[in-house]
Amino acid sequence: MARDAASVIEDALALPDEVCASLAGALLNSLDPETEEAVEPAWLNEIQRRAAELDSGAVASVPWAEEVDAKLRAVLTRGR
């Protein structure tokens, strides 16, 4: 018996967070797996580059609560 998408989604949202995240990833990967395979090495290189910049002190991380959140709220407030 076929189930409608709404009931599948309802059941999926009731799963534990880790299982739900894994399911979401699997669904996204199923849409265009070739694209992800082609892009994955580029993402890995970017992650390694950024980690190296942080480790070397070339860049500094920005605290979310103190700076990023305030900047985001300012942008959102101006947009209203």
Q: pTM higher than 0.75 for the full model?
A: no
Torsion sign (Cα): 5, 10, 16, 17: positive
Cα dihedral value 34, 35, 36, 42, nearest 10: 120
Closest among 29, 23, 26, 27 to 11, alpha carbons compared: 23
Q: What is the pLDDT along the chain (80 residues), one digit of tens a residue?
A: 578 889 999 999 999 999 999 999 899 888 876 776 778 899 999 999 999 999 999 999 988 888 888 888 899 988 76
The residue count of the chain comes to 80
20 CB-near residues (< 8 Å, 6+ apart): 12, 13
